[in-house]
Amino acid sequence: MIGIDLIKLDRMKGSIERFGDKFLQRFLSPTEISLIKNYKNAAGFWAAKEDCSKALGCGIGKECGFHDIVLSKTPKGAPSITLTQTLVNKYHIRAMSVSITHDGNYAIAVVAIQTD
């Protein structure tokens, strides 16, 4: 299963300027917030979480919330993605990968999920 999401960087910048940490806390854990260097990183994380939920086929909502999807960085700085054990079991997840990129005024992310 594959999900993709695109977000305009200005939208993320405006939300952070207007609501600050409260906005970031809406979709990121404290550990994830510590990885955010600027609004561009935040936009990439938002896109990754959105497209992960799309790859699952449920979207962000009752079945899968932003905090059920956890982003981290590898020692080389590449993004990594994991799900809560509840979602792993429910969707029979065997492996996941994520890619985040920025171009112009956009952040784009793709998530690939392998299931049983």
Whether 40 is a known active-site residue: answer: no
pLDDT tens for residues 55-79?
A: 999 999 999 999 999 999 999 999 9
Single out the catalytic residue among 54, 62, 76, 90: 54
Q: What is the pLDDT of residue 116?
A: 86
* Residue in 65, 62, 53 with CA at minimum distance from that of residue 96: 53
Which pTM was predicted? 0.94
pLDDT tens for residues 8-53?
A: 999 999 999 999 999 999 999 999 999 999 999 999 999 999 999 9
Cα 45 from Cα 58, distance rounded (Å): 18
Identify residue 116 by its one-letter amino acid code: D
Whether 67 is a known active-site residue: answer: no
Single out the catalytic residue among 13, 40, 90, 102: 102
What phi and psi, each to the nearest 5 degrees, are found at residue 44? -65, -40
